């Protein structure tokens, strides 16, 4: 179980593991994973996570630094409810065939979310004012 393992991991080790997990997810996405963002919104009883990227057909336009809000598209939206241990993917972009056929890639999504939350908890507990509420975790990967 992750909870037991994180107690012995340093923050550096956890961050390296997160980078590895995100890279694996990015490669599973193929061209969709070249520019990738994941946001996790923490709630009292769980969280909602969203991942989006630049559409492969819009990469050149995005790289030209042209303003293009239409360049981005959701990859997935998931939610987790702690009290009932319910996790489900509310939306999954069915046009991303590479990930749909790769169950390891789908499992990797939840691993990334859990690891990001573990890192968040460790940072808040050891480096930030724990009396304040920080409710968003953002992860960006640009290959």
Q: Contact 25/98 with Cβ under 8 angstroms?
A: no
Give SS3 for 64.
coil
What was the pLDDT predicted at 142?
Answer: 63
Cβ partners under 8 Å of residue 123, min gap 6: 11
Of 51, 101, 111, nearest to 78 by C-alpha is 51
Instruction: Report pTM.
Output: 0.77
Q: How sure is the predictor about 10, in pLDDT bands with cuts at 50, 70 and 90?
A: confident
Token pair for 139: 């992860």
């Amino acid at each position: 179980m992750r909870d037991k393992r994180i107690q012995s991991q340093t923050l550096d080790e956890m961050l390296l593991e997160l980078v590895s997990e995100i890279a694996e997810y990015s490669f599973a996405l193929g061209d969709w994973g070249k520019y990738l963002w994941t946001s996790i919104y923490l709630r009292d009883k769980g969280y909602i996570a969203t991942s989006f990227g630049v559409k492969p057909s819009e990469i050149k336009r995005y790289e030209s630094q042209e303003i293009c809000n239409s360049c981005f598209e959701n990859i997935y939206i998931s939610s987790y409810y702690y009290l009932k241990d319910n996790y489900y993917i509310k939306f999954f972009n069915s046009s991303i065939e590479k990930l749909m056929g790769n169950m390891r890639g789908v499992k990797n999504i939840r691993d990334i979310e859990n690891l990001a939350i573990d890192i968040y908890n460790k940072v808040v507990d050891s480096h930030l004012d724990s009396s304040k509420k920080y409710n968003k975790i953002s992860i960006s990967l640009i290959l």
